[in-house]
Structure 1
Amino acid sequence: MSRFSEIIKQDKPVLVDFFAEWCGPCKMMGPILKEVKDSLGESVSIIKIDVDKNQELASQLNVKGVPTLILYKSGKQIWRQSGVVQKSDLLQIIKRDN
């Protein structure tokens, strides 16, 4: 958890994708997140966290379903949504809060 806390305290937005290997919709998020990263470059960090390998963290953050995306800025959660989110929506959300 301490490493996670350090990662989300960055000045730039940090988008966290909670996923599972067995989850179909999670597999759809991979290419979308790549396109978002390609569009925004170094202005955003995107990290993927496997809920099966990080059950304690997922539990602490009340992640009940996958995929769950959480956007952090300076350690604070500023947006959260479960399910597949389209590239255009993610870009708008990240830019709005940046």
Structure 2
Amino acid sequence: MSVNSSESEGLAQRLRNFVVVTVAVVLSVAVVLGLQTRTPSASLSDMAEASVPLNQAITNGKPTLVEFYANWCTSCQAMAGDLQQLKHEYQQDVNFVMLNVDNSKWLPEMLHYRVDGIPHFAFLDQSGNDAGAAMGEIPRAVLADNLTALVAGEKLPYAQAEGQTSDVETALEASGAPDDPRSHGAQVVQ
């Protein structure tokens, strides 16, 4: 029994359709599995909730990494995963503190540490004294080197590191208050 050309074309079309559907199913399964195995990104709010309170960190005799951040800060969000990993590695030896710049409660600390861009990291020694700072999207390795030196009581290798930042937009600016944390205490005349 021979197959005529129209039956042959129909068979070829069905075979092509079957291949397309099979490839689509395989790609869909790969995408779903890839999304399920991907490391979830760290939530800044969750990280802040789990961080050590500042007053406890300054008095417990451990060195401290203070991060000034905001939930809207894309640079802060970009670094969240790395900071979560560093916290996991160093949490026995280093306090991790997160202070949200949108909370005017932290204005004195923002002025003290001269926060004018975020993320802003303040490295404090075991006594709570300033050991260095880093601002912006800092490579994980640079932060890790600083944390290792901080734990060892050594000078930070990257004591003034700087990367891409987000401008500080605090709750004070949103409310129209004249105190701008970027002014470092200067009075604004309106």
TM over 0.5: same fold? yes
Q: Which residue is 2:35 aligned to? A: none
Q: Which residue is 1:31 aligned to? A: 81
CA shift, 1:51, in A, is 0.7
> Secondary structure at 1:97's aligned position in 2?
helix
Q: Which residue is 1:65 aligned to? A: 117
Alignment-mate amino acid for residue 96 of structure 1:
A
Aligned length: 96
Instruction: Tell me which structure has the larger Cα radius of gyration.
Output: 2
Contact 1:51/1:58, CA 8 A, preserved across alignment: yes
Q: Is 2:143 aligned against 1:90?
A: yes
- 2-side partners of 1:38 and 1:4: how far apart? 19
Higher relative contact order (CA 8 A, sep 6+): 1
Contact 2:54/2:97, CA 8 A, preserved across alignment: no
CA shift, 1:38, in A, is 1.4
Contact 1:10/1:75, CA 8 A, preserved across alignment: no
Contact 2:68/2:101, CA 8 A, preserved across alignment: yes
Contact 2:68/2:98, CA 8 A, preserved across alignment: yes
Q: More strand by proportion, 1 or 2?
A: 1
Q: Within 5 Å, which residues of 2 pair with 1:44-55?
A: 44-53=94-103, 54-55=106-107
1:72-97, CA deviations, whole angstroms, 9 ceiling, x for partnerless residues?
01111111011012221111111113
Alignment-mate amino acid for residue 87 of structure 1:
R
TM-score (norm 2): 0.46
Q: Over aligned residue pairs, what C-alpha RMSD do you find? A: 1.7
Gaps of 5+ in 2: 1-52, 152-190
1:7-39, CA deviations, whole angstroms, 9 ceiling, x for partnerless residues?
224322210110112110011121111110112
The percentage of counterpart residues that share the same residue type is 24
- 1-side partners of 2:102 and 2:61: how far apart? 28
Q: Which residue is 2:131 aligned to? A: 78
TM-score (norm 1): 0.84
